[in-house]
Amino acid sequence: MECHHVLPLHVAGEGRTKLSDLALICANCHRMIHRHAPWPTPGELRASIERKHADDRRAAAALTRPRWAADDQVPKPVS
């Protein structure tokens, strides 16, 4: 676990840091937050990851669905 300043120190300026100014997050998420500015909040990062996972699940379902299911057509029995 790493401690992340929710309000960046360069924005907050000098002063005391309160517990409400900090978030405990895993090292991987901390690096993802600091990857590109403007930095997302931990909640925004979580929402982004959840959207990505939902997109991945939809794509995987489309790949594994039978071709006729994609067109809503029932295959005709072979006689």
pLDDT at 77: 65
Residue 62 predicted with pLDDT over 90: no
Residue 10, pLDDT score: 84
Q: Is the separation of the CB atoms in 6 and 23 below 8 Å? A: yes
* Separation of alpha carbons 21 and 4, rounded Å: 8
CA distance 47 to 10: 25
The stretch 16-43 carries a mean pLDDT of 91
Please give the pLDDT value at position 33.
93
> What's the pTM value of the predicted model, to 2 decimals?
0.62
Q: What is the pLDDT of residues 32-56, one digit of tens each?
A: 999 988 889 999 999 999 999 999 9
Checking if the pLDDT of 71 tops 70, the result is no
